[in-house]
Amino acid sequence: MALEAGVKAPDFALLATPDQKVSLSEFEGPVVLIFYPADWSPVCSDELSVFGAAKKLFDDHGAQLLGISVDGPWCHEVFKEKRHVPFPLLADANPHAHVAKAYGVYRDADGTSERALFVIDRDGTVAWSYVSPVGVNPGADGALRAVEALS
């Protein structure tokens, strides 16, 4: 069961590159966590493209976008370059999917995560969450409305 609004968001530190970690607690403004099953899948590529296109709208509200999947940092590096993703993609690979598990969105059946969105407020609390069917791109509108409501 995915974490719901009002719950303290679990902090984490995940690799954004093969040698650089990013933690949730280092951000002061709202943070949008974009859990997606895997790099290179068509729906995931489309979802991250939508968030990339909307990045300025999130930036205008001081919000940081962070993509999270069970892929490793090397895979993320190539995917970001080829797909022009303008925000960090974090590797929830080692230990396997511990962040997806902490947020209640790990998929035991295939070892990936649900397609889920979380907006974390300045106090580190989940302000909004949404789990989409894994084959459906949820778009950025709901997360953007949640970020705007925090402004």
Report angle CA 30, 88, 151 to the nearest 5 degrees: 15
User: Catalytic site residue 44?
Assistant: yes
Instruction: Using DSSP bridges, classify how beta strands 126-132 and 115-120 pair: parallel, antiparallel or unpaired.
Output: antiparallel
Contact call for residues 2 and 106 (beta carbons, < 8 A): no
DSSP per-residue letters across 54-65? THHHHHTTTPEE
User: Of 14, 33, 34, 44, which one is the catalytic site residue?
Assistant: 44
| Structure token digits, residue 118 | 């979380």
| Distance (Å) of CA 40 to CA 44, 55, 71, 78 | 7, 20, 10, 10
State the catalytic residues: 44
